Amino acid sequence: MSTQDNSIETQNRGCPTMGGPVAMAGAAADPLAFVRTEDDGLEHLDLLVRGARCAGCISKIEKGVNAISGVRLSQLNLSTGKLSVNWVPGAADPGVIARTVADLGYQVSPYDPGEAEVERDKHGRFLLLCMAVAGFAAMNIMLFSVSVWAGFNGEMQETTRTFFHWLSALIALPAAAFSGQPFFRSAFASLRKGKANMDVPISLAVLLALGVSLYETITGGDHTYFDAAIMLLFFLLIGRWLDHRLRGQTRLAARELLSLQAATANRLDQNGDVQAVQARDIEPGDHIILWPGDRAPVDGIITEGRSDVDMALVSGESAPDLVQSGDAIRAGMVNLTDKLVLRATARTEDSLLAELTRLVEAGETARGRFVKLADRAAQAYVPIVHTLAALSFVGWILIGAGVHHAVLIAAAVLIITCPCALGLAAPAVQIVAVGRLFKRGILVKAGDALERMAEIDTVLLDKTGTLTLGKPRLVNTDEISADTLEFAAKLARSSRHPLSRAIADLAGPGGVANDAEETPGHGVEGTVDGARARLGRAEWAGVEKQNETTSGLWLVVKGQDPVHFIFEDALRVDAAKMVAGLKARNLSVEMLSGDREAPAKAAAAKAGIDIVSFGLTPQEKISRVEALVSAGKNVLMVGDGLNDAPALAAANVSLSLAGATDASQAAADMVLQGEKLSPILAAYDVSRAARGRILQNFGFAAGYNMIAVPLAVFGFVTPMIAAIAMSSSSIVVTLNALRPFMIRHKSS
From the list 389, 420, 417, the residue with the least C-alpha distance to 208 is 389
Q: Which helix (H) or strand (E) holds 126?
A: helix 113-150
The residues with which 304 forms a beta bridge, in sequence order, are: 341
Query: pLDDT tens-digit profile of 334-393?
Result: 888 788 899 998 887 667 666 656 655 554 454 445 555 555 555 566 677 778 888 988
Contact in structure between 449 and 437 (CB atoms under 8 Å): no
The Cα–Cα gap between 489 and 497 comes to 12
Cα–Cα distance for residue pair 96/599, rounded to 1 Å: 58
In terms of DSSP bridges, do strands 340-344 and 300-304 run parallel, antiparallel, or are they unpaired?
antiparallel
Q: Kind and range of the H or E element at 86?
A: strand 82-87
Number of H helices, E strands in the chain: 26, 29
Q: Read off the DSSP letter of residue 295.
A: B
Domains in the chain and their CATH numbers? 8-111 (3.30.70.100), 113-229 (no CATH), 263-350 (2.70.150.10), 442-469+572-685 (3.40.50.1000), 471-570 (3.40.1110.10)
Query: Which amino acid would we find at residue 104?
Result: L
CA dist., res. 702 & res. 697, Å (int)? 8
| Known catalytic residue at 462 | yes
Q: Which of 141-145, 165-169, 704-708, 742-746 bottoms out in mean pLDDT, i.e. has the lowest?
A: 742-746
CA dist 122 → 109, 119, 190, 199, 488 (Å): 16, 5, 22, 20, 65
- β-strand 24-25 against 18-19: which pairing, if any? antiparallel
Residue 62, pLDDT > 80, answer yes
Residue 251: pLDDT band by 50, 70, 90 thresholds?
Answer: low
Tell me the chain's radius of gyration from C-alpha atoms: 33
pTM of structure: 0.57
pLDDT value of residue 19: 34
Taking only the tens place, the pLDDT of each residue in 465-517 is 788 877 777 888 888 888 888 888 888 888 767 778 888 888 888 888 888 88
The active-site residue, picked from 286, 462, 595, 640, is 462
- Residue 238's contacts (CB-CB under 8 Å, 6 or more residues apart) are 131, 727
Pick the range with the lowest mean pLDDT from 153-162, 219-228, 240-249: 240-249
3-state secondary structure of 369: helix
